[in-house]
Structure 1
Amino acid sequence: MKVSYIFILLGFLTFNLNAQTSFEEFKKRKNAEFAKFKERVKTEFEDFRERRNAEFAKLISRRWNMMKHYKGVEPPTKPEPVKPVIKDKNEPVVPPVKIPIDEIVSIPKPDPRVPLNIVPIPNDINQRNYFTKTFYGTPVMICFENGKHKFKLANINESEVGKAWQTMSDGRMDDVVDMFLSWRKKISVNDYAYILMVEDLCNAFWGNTSANESVVMQTYILTQCGYDVKIARKNTSLLLLVAVEETVYRKTFLTIGGKKYYVLSDTKEKGDYYTFNEDFAGKMQKCSMQITEPIMLAESRKAQGRLFSSEKYPQLSVNITVNSNLIKLYNDYPILDWELYANTPMSNDLANKLLPALKKEVAGKTEEQAANIILNFVQTAFQYKTDEEQFGYERPFFVDELFYYDYSDCEDRAVLFSYLVRKILQLDVVLLYYPNHLATAVKFSTYSDGDYVSVNGKKYVVCDPTYINANIGEAMPKFKNVSAKVIEL
């Protein structure tokens, strides 16, 4: 009987060992197949680029056409900015009203990024003698070499640009493109910040006397990464044209093939713009201004933070310092629609300090109580000034910026409140744009009293972060019967 058990046990162990060996072999085989697949995809993409680059160099060597350009669109204005209104405690209670709606707008989803095989940054990159430039406080190293990667434009006509493109497409730029993509992934920059990175590093590599060569190289690199970009000639300068997914305010643009190409870095002098109609490929990726994950820049902070406290709930008090490198990047952002600011995540450091304090304060509370706590914090923790008073021009804030600058206005507070409610309470929020004011409305699951708007048949309760000491469901008296544009987030 014991012998039988031994044979059974040996048989089980042998089967288990064979199964494990087979599984390991299966894994190795599948990993090898996947590696081959990745290499095959990469090779096909590189082969496409090589063939297309040769064709494209010829196409852009042809005569460029003068294109009509349009002055940058001005952002929505607030002709008579609304100052914060403090709720009168003795104000008589009035019945809730349904706020009329002008229209409902929503943010477009950006095109998916072109799939690319991104090579990790070498672990020993700091020991390599690579070209280094600080990008908003973060050292970025690229394998630029003067003898290998620099070229000289005799002039800025079409044939010279075509020759330069042909030169770069012989394989010498492949490692440079790969390294830029690696940095894009490492510090989690979005499309626009990535374009700024390419521009910044190329300009530093070429120096002040070779700005036109830098633009040609920027365009080449971004094209190889799948971005829909072009080169334009204006007077004695070459300029980068970028197809952008969203509306960018105060930036000159050209319409080519039904798409808007923005001149994100323009020259000051007047002149006509000459460029080509051809795209590098049939389906190129527009630049999206949206930031979907925190950008990981090097830290730079003031030694002493600022205290932000709720007046009604004084125990809710947080000391905050903000990464000034991130603020510098945001300062170089063009003006966008409010929903893009509202959908941009907080930096990890700000989230790690602020969100736990708010979550602790609202723990165990009803939706109504929790929303009122968050609302009062946003109403009373910040000092108010209009953008015109603080900066001299309209300038919406990303969430981190409210905790950096001394003052904020109605749209900044609406953006912050909408973000906090979605993040902490997991409730849907819309922005309400009146002719000269921005507020919010929240779709509660357990509370529906007060002033409201109806969006797609669903009730959203008005919450105004600039109506000081007002509770949820209380619109400013002057806006109770004013039509609002609903901005979905």
Structure 2
Amino acid sequence: MVVHCCQGCTTFYNFERTTGFLSISDILKKASDMNVSRKLLVLLLSLLPVALSAQNDDSETSNSDFDEFRNSILGGFNSSRSQIMDDYDNFRSQMMKDYVEFVRQAWSEFNVEPTLPVPEEKPVPPVVMPDEERDEQPDERPLLVDEIIAPLPFTPQPRPVVEIDEIPTLHEEYVYFTFFGTDAKVRFPVSDKVIVKGSDENSVADAIETMTSRKYDNTLFDCLMLRKELKLSDWAYLQMLGALAEKIYGNDNNSATMMSACLYMQSGYKVRFGENEGKLYMLFACEGYIYNRDSYTVDGCLYYGLEELPVRMHICKASLNKEQELSLVVKGGQRFSYKKSDPRRIASKKYPEIAAEVSVNENLMRFYESYPTSFVGENEMTRWAMYANSELDESVKQALYPKLQAIVKGLSQVEALNRILDFVQTGLVYGYDNEIWGEDRAFFSEESLFYPYCDCEDRSILFSRIVRDLLGLDVALVMVPGHMLVAVNLKEDVQGAYVMLDGRKFVLCEPTCLNGAPVGWADIEDGARLQLYLLERTESQVDYTLEEQPMEVEHSLIPYFDGAKWGYKNNAGEVVVKCEYDSVSDNALYGDRHLYVAKLGSRLYLYDPDGFYICNCDGYVPLDLNRIDGVKSDYYGIFNDDGQWYINDLVFMVPAGMVLLDEYDMESVTYENNIFCRLPAENEFMERFIILKRKSDGKWGVIDIFGKTVLPFEYDRIEFSPYDKSVLLLYNALSGEEHTHKL
């Protein structure tokens, strides 16, 4: 049987008709291995009777074993949907129970491994082009390639060891914390938090058993949502969990360590627990080798710590299915809160018209400061590629690229490349890493624009990023002992030093020539043997000047950054929303209306595709479908996308800014003189109806957008069907019955 789910994935179940039938527990384990969600599992299991009947009909003779198996499946899954959910929960509980029991036993002593130092390279002075060569095109000369480094493997981010579903609760407690200057909040049972009492095997196992229970599912769910919404790398996610645990537990190191480790472990990462002299440690496995960081080898895998580690440690070897190593690849696009740095002017000396004032996000710089340098595989040159393949932050693109692109537009590739090359060569100031940082330190592209000094590797990384983004050319990093430069695959013929890669000519460029040098000039001896790393290409170029922006839709807004604040331009390149916001959305929201959200401080504002402010409210919080949840004159309500009230008799008290809280610090709504807890979540507002739960007796009901009761408040639970959003599932605890209601 093959089932295609709506997300585009395909799940295969192959039932042999003679031997090896799958038991229910086998199916549940298979679902876990494939990261099948509980809702999808219900759908798959509901289709089993159809598939099995079809197989039976195709056979010429009945097979008694098959019939027995089919009957057992039909009997087992003709029970209610909630029973299937319980079975899956029981499977998860059993898996974690087995893991916890293993934790009580699987401990051994390990010695710390020698740290891997950052390679020391003899400082090489920056190159200067002789004056007598400046007016001549470099001679054509091929250079030998000693080694071509294989590209880094692509590894998707880990998924939870078991799919985590959000659990609706009456009283939500939140923890508010900050990481890399970015405010965040997650649900957490602060009043009932577990405290780790000891550091022995049983204390660790007991803590894991509690911290991985359903009580903390919403905490894990919220953390995973933050990872997704903020586009956090594995390293940023690990740092976020550490900040969360520290906010919860303060100076209680052991409890904080266990909480962050349990969250990271359940998120799919390879984690081990360690103990030394009463102190607990979280150890993580990494896809590669980290410089200057203590580690232990456990079952053939290196495990690193977030702090200095003792010479000898008591480590638990227990593992979970499908656990995955942390990747230090940073693709870019991480959405840390924006804190503008002081602007810096960078200009080419030969082409003074190429100049730009650039500010970067200081919170992103804080993340880069925490980032450990590493390499993957057997060649240490891969560490440079990890920096070079990271995308440039969008705010930097908006400040830098329009100016550069406007200058090079219409030029030949060689002319454009020469101008970008001189911008990097003469616009940046050279400095030795050993003198500045005490060791060799690589920069992400934004760091070369932020810090006052950079060396040959940093310049090569920045230059390669700009060339790929603006010119769309293939680029390789070129390494010779003590020095790095760049090779570019031009579509035009140009004379100079070059290398051949996969039958294509790559011309050398020297970003570290302080007085400027043209494409093809390189201070490399003919006999030198080079190492090459072909970088990831930019698949599609963006016209940052917007002079020839194609009209994809009749009306649309394009985010625009003026170096200080964000606004919008239209397709004609005209500023239609002034640059006065901290951030703006780059996607149209709210169905066919294509509305856009801009944020200033804690408030959000809504614009239509023509750049008109569409509602006279004080602020907005975007929700789902065609609704806007907002504040108007200290009242809270739900608006339609024309700024008119959807529900004007549901009045929300707002005691603190945009946050709606009741006396229990819960999001709440008043209706008919009763308080209903929790503002409707995304999956509880469909079309023109809202599901609510009454605080006084815990009963559920449904109202429409005009405040009229659709279903009375007499049900123990109401939720939307996972298969048809126009159907409600109604539960009655006393009778144990489940009914449906068509909206």
Q: Structure 2-normalised TM-score?
A: 0.57
Question: Is 2:520 the counterpart of 1:473?
Answer: yes
The alpha-carbon deviation at position 463 of structure 1 amounts to 0.8
Higher relative contact order at CA 8 Å, sep ≥6: structure 1 or structure 2? 1
Q: Determine which of 386, 396, 401 is the counterpart of 1:340.
A: 386
Question: Is 2:320 the counterpart of 1:277?
Answer: no
The alpha-carbon deviation at position 249 of structure 1 amounts to 1.2
CA contact (8 A) 1:84 1:467 kept: yes
1:311 corresponding residue in structure 2: 349
1:31 corresponding residue in structure 2: none
Secondary structure of residue in 2 paired with 1:467: coil
Matching of residues 82-121 of structure 1 within 5 Å:
82-91=124-133, 95-115=139-159
The alpha-carbon deviation at position 236 of structure 1 amounts to 3.2
Q: Distance in 1 between matches of 2:43 and 2:495?
A: 60
Question: Is 2:224 the counterpart of 1:177?
Answer: no
The alpha-carbon deviation at position 456 of structure 1 amounts to 3.1
One-letter amino acid of the counterpart of residue 472, structure 1? V
1:224 corresponding residue in structure 2: 266
TM-aligned CA distance change 1:409 to 1:224, over 3 Å = same
Q: Normalized per residue, which structure has more strand?
A: 2
TM-aligned CA distance change 1:368 to 1:84, over 3 Å = same
CA contact (8 A) 1:215 1:231 kept: no
1:295 corresponding residue in structure 2: 334
Q: Distance in 1 between matches of 2:164 and 2:225?
A: 6
Matching of residues 418-429 of structure 1 within 5 Å:
418-429=464-475
1:327 corresponding residue in structure 2: 365
TM-aligned CA distance change 1:415 to 1:204, over 3 Å = same
Q: Determine which of 242, 247, 252 is the counterpart of 1:204.
A: 247
Secondary structure of residue in 1 paired with 2:289: coil
CA contact (8 A) 1:367 1:447 kept: no
Q: Distance in 1 between matches of 2:90 and 2:420?
A: 55
Question: Is 2:172 the counterpart of 1:132?
Answer: no
Total equivalences in the alignment: 445
1:9 corresponding residue in structure 2: none
Q: Distance in 1 between matches of 2:420 and 2:446?
A: 16
The alpha-carbon deviation at position 487 of structure 1 amounts to 2.1
Q: Deviations over 1:7-27 (max 9, x none)?
A: xxxxxxxxxxxxxxxxxxxx9
CA contact (8 A) 1:372 1:472 kept: yes
One-letter amino acid of the counterpart of residue 518, structure 2? N
The alpha-carbon deviation at position 394 of structure 1 amounts to 1.8
Q: Distance in 1 between matches of 2:406 and 2:165?
A: 42
Q: Determine which of 67, 70, 76 is the counterpart of 2:110.
A: 67
The alpha-carbon deviation at position 288 of structure 1 amounts to 0.9
TM-aligned CA distance change 1:66 to 1:102, over 3 Å = farther
TM-aligned CA distance change 1:38 to 1:440, over 3 Å = farther
TM-aligned CA distance change 1:107 to 1:257, over 3 Å = farther
The alpha-carbon deviation at position 271 of structure 1 amounts to 2.5
TM-aligned CA distance change 1:119 to 1:425, over 3 Å = farther
CA contact (8 A) 2:414 2:494 kept: no
Q: Deviations over 1:146-182 (max 9, x none)?
A: 33222232x2111110111112233111111001011
Secondary structure of residue in 1 paired with 2:280: strand
5+ residue gaps, structure 1, are 1-26, 28-33
CA contact (8 A) 1:384 1:407 kept: yes
1:15 corresponding residue in structure 2: none
TM-aligned CA distance change 1:415 to 1:301, over 3 Å = same
Secondary structure of residue in 2 paired with 1:384: coil
Question: Is 2:460 the counterpart of 1:414?
Answer: yes
2:71 corresponding residue in structure 1: none
Matching of residues 250-261 of structure 1 within 5 Å:
250-261=292-303
One-letter amino acid of the counterpart of residue 146, structure 1? V
Q: Distance in 2 between matches of 1:58 and 1:361?
A: 66
Secondary structure of residue in 2 paired with 1:307: strand
2:191 corresponding residue in structure 1: 147
TM-aligned CA distance change 1:484 to 1:76, over 3 Å = farther
CA contact (8 A) 1:441 1:462 kept: yes
TM-aligned CA distance change 1:131 to 1:486, over 3 Å = same
Q: Distance in 2 between matches of 1:105 and 1:39?
A: 46
CA contact (8 A) 2:287 2:326 kept: yes
Q: Distance in 2 between matches of 1:351 and 1:118?
A: 36
TM-aligned CA distance change 1:279 to 1:120, over 3 Å = closer
Q: Determine which of 161, 168, 190 is the counterpart of 2:233.
A: 190
Secondary structure of residue in 1 paired with 2:424: helix
One-letter amino acid of the counterpart of residue 495, structure 2? D
Q: Determine which of 327, 338, 353 is the counterpart of 2:399.
A: 353
TM-aligned CA distance change 1:375 to 1:278, over 3 Å = same
The alpha-carbon deviation at position 46 of structure 1 amounts to 5.5
Q: Distance in 1 between matches of 2:167 and 2:520?
A: 51
TM-aligned CA distance change 1:276 to 1:45, over 3 Å = farther
Q: Distance in 1 between matches of 2:167 and 2:404?
A: 38
5+ residue gaps, structure 2, are 1-5, 7-36, 45-83, 375-382, 536-743
1:37 corresponding residue in structure 2: 40
Task: State which structure, 1 or 2, has the greater radius of gyration over its C-alpha atoms.
Answer: 2
The alpha-carbon deviation at position 362 of structure 1 amounts to 1.0
One-letter amino acid of the counterpart of residue 233, structure 1? E
Range 63-72 or range 323-332, more displaced: 63-72
1:20 corresponding residue in structure 2: none
Secondary structure of residue in 1 paired with 2:532: strand
The alpha-carbon deviation at position 299 of structure 1 amounts to 1.4
One-letter amino acid of the counterpart of residue 192, structure 2? K
The alpha-carbon deviation at position 69 of structure 1 amounts to 2.9
Secondary structure of residue in 2 paired with 1:394: coil
Secondary structure of residue in 2 paired with 1:413: helix
Q: Deviations over 1:30-77 (max 9, x none)?
A: xxxx99427769968765542221111110111511124322212233
CA contact (8 A) 2:112 2:296 kept: yes
Q: Distance in 2 between matches of 1:393 and 1:56?
A: 42
TM-aligned CA distance change 1:35 to 1:177, over 3 Å = closer
Secondary structure of residue in 1 paired with 2:142: coil
Identity %: 29
The alpha-carbon deviation at position 332 of structure 1 amounts to 0.7
Q: Distance in 1 between matches of 2:340 and 2:332?
A: 21
2:72 corresponding residue in structure 1: none
Q: Normalized per residue, which structure has more helix?
A: 1
TM-aligned CA distance change 1:87 to 1:65, over 3 Å = same
Q: Distance in 2 between matches of 1:179 and 1:298?
A: 18
TM-aligned CA distance change 1:120 to 1:51, over 3 Å = closer
Question: RMSD of the TM alignment (CA)?
Answer: 2.6
1:392 corresponding residue in structure 2: 438
Q: Distance in 2 between matches of 1:450 and 1:318?
A: 29
Q: Distance in 1 between matches of 2:155 and 2:313?
A: 27
Q: Distance in 2 between matches of 1:437 and 1:112?
A: 32
Secondary structure of residue in 2 paired with 1:222: helix
CA contact (8 A) 2:173 2:190 kept: no
Q: Determine which of 287, 297, 306 is the counterpart of 1:245.
A: 287
